């Protein structure tokens, strides 16, 4: 099976304009992401609609494709890039452009999901750490995932699911494994084309989670489990925390 990696990147982020070009450990964030995952792919591209990002990627020797300014999200940008490049691949991996600490074994865990029959889309989860406490579990910005016995997603929610009836809340993390969704996806090429044409669904609108649209329309999402916590960068404050984290643990970049 052939895999291609696409890293959607836009300049005009509401909370952090120019985020892909912000410096982290002496290199732009987008370069950090690219270099973290390049070993996994024969074909890896940054997909952007901004010339500044394009020039930055070319300057460090990366591959880049210009996409439409009308792309509403990373999924649409991945499809646009896939079509413009006419990529010869079975699966497209959508790598978040603001996850500079992503690890190769996380990408490989995502790819291994397609060893199972009937997989349309793959994504990753990480068990919530009991040490994080209820505050982390109940954070609506950390979507939860419920899996079936075969490792396919049943539901994604910003609420805590499942509800543990008859168990005190402060004992929930000791009595059940709750899964946190990590926002990285891989799609079969024909599925990527199809899901971008779906209309918003009731559950998606309710939870503001795009992946619910796919579940409501019958697509099967296989879930890989990782023990590695990703650190996304959504704001300038997140960037400072990322710098502190890299310094405190002596993070070994894959470059």
**How confident is the model over 146-172, as pLDDT tens digits?**
999 999 999 999 999 999 999 999 999
All residues at 6 or more sequence positions from 249 whose CB lies less than 8 Å from its CB, including other chains: none
Confidence of residue 14 (pLDDT cuts 50, 70, 90): confident
Full set of structural domains in the chain with CATH? 1-100 (3.90.550.10), 116-180+190-233 (3.90.550.10)
Specify whether the CB–CB gap between 103 and 227 falls below 8 A. no
208-254 confidence digits (pLDDT tens): 999 999 999 999 999 999 998 778 888 999 999 999 988 887 787 77
Contact of 185 with 191, CB cutoff 8 Å: no
Backbone angles phi, psi at 46, to 5 degrees: -90, 130
81-119 confidence digits (pLDDT tens): 999 999 999 999 999 999 999 999 999 999 999 999 999
pLDDT of residue 249: 74
Model confidence pLDDT, tens digit, residues 173-186: 999 999 999 989 99
What's the 3-state SS for 128-175?
A: CCHHHHHHHHCCCCCCEEEECCCCEEEEEECCCCCCCCCCCHHHHHHH
Separation in Å, CA 2 to CA 6, 19, 189, 200 = 13, 30, 10, 30
What is the predicted pLDDT for the residue at 61? 97
- pLDDT, the chain, mean: 94
pLDDT at 234: 86
Over residues 178-201, mean pLDDT = 95
Least confident of 7-16, 34-43, 77-86: 7-16
pLDDT at 103: 93
CB 20 within 8 A of CB 28: yes
pTM of the model: 0.92
Q: What is the pLDDT of residue 214?
A: 97
Kindly indicate the confidence band of residue 255, based on its pLDDT and cuts at 50, 70 and 90: low
Q: Is the dihedral of CA 162, 94, 129, 137 positive or negative?
A: negative
Cβ-based neighbours of 155, under 8 Å, separated by 6 or more: 145, 146, 161, 212, 215
pLDDT value for 11 = 92
And the tokens for 31?
């370069």
Q: In which band, very low, low, confident or very high, does the pLDDT at 55 lie, cut at 50, 70 and 90?
A: very high
Whether residue 199 has pLDDT greater than 90: yes
C-beta of residue 142 within 8 angstroms of C-beta of residue 241: no
Sign, CA dihedral 196-38-88-105, equals negative
Tell me how far apart the alpha carbons of residues 173 and 129 are, in angstroms, rounded to a whole number. 8
**CA 214, CA 222: separation in Å to the nearest integer?**
12
| Calpha distance 157→204 (Å, rounded) | 10
Of 252, 240, 249, nearest to 24 by C-alpha is 240
């Amino acid at each position: 099976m052939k895999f291609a990696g696409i890293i959607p990147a836009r300049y005009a982020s509401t909370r952090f304009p120019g985020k892909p070009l912000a410096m982290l450990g002496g290199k732009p964030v987008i370069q950090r992401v690219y270099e973290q995952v390049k070993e996994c792919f024969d074909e890896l591209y940054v997909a952007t609609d901004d010339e500044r990002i394009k020039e930055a990627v070319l300057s460090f020797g990366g591959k880049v494709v210009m996409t439409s300014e009308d792309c509403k999200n990373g999924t649409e940008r991945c499809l646009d890039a896939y079509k413009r490049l006419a990529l010869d691949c079975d699966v497209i991996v959508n790598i978040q452009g603001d996850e500079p600490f992503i690890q190769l074994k996380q990408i490989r865990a995502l790819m291994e999901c397609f060893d199972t029959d009937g997989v349309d889309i793959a994504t990753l989860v990480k068990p919530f750490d009991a040490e994080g406490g209820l505050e982390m579990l109940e954070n609506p910005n950390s979507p939860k995932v419920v899996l079936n016995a075969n490792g396919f997603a049943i539901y994604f929610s910003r609420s805590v699911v499942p509800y543990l009836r008859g168990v005190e809340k402060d004992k929930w993390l000791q009595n059940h494994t709750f899964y946190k969704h990590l926002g990285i996806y891989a799609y079969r090429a024909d599925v990527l084309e199809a899901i971008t044409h779906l209309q918003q669904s009731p559950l998606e609108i309710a939870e503001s989670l795009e992946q619910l649209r796919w579940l409501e329309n019958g697509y099967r999402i296989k879930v890989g489990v990782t023990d590695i916590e990703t650190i996304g960068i959504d704001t300038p404050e997140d960037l400072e925390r990322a710098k502190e984290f890299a310094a405190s643990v002596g993070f070994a970049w894959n470059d």
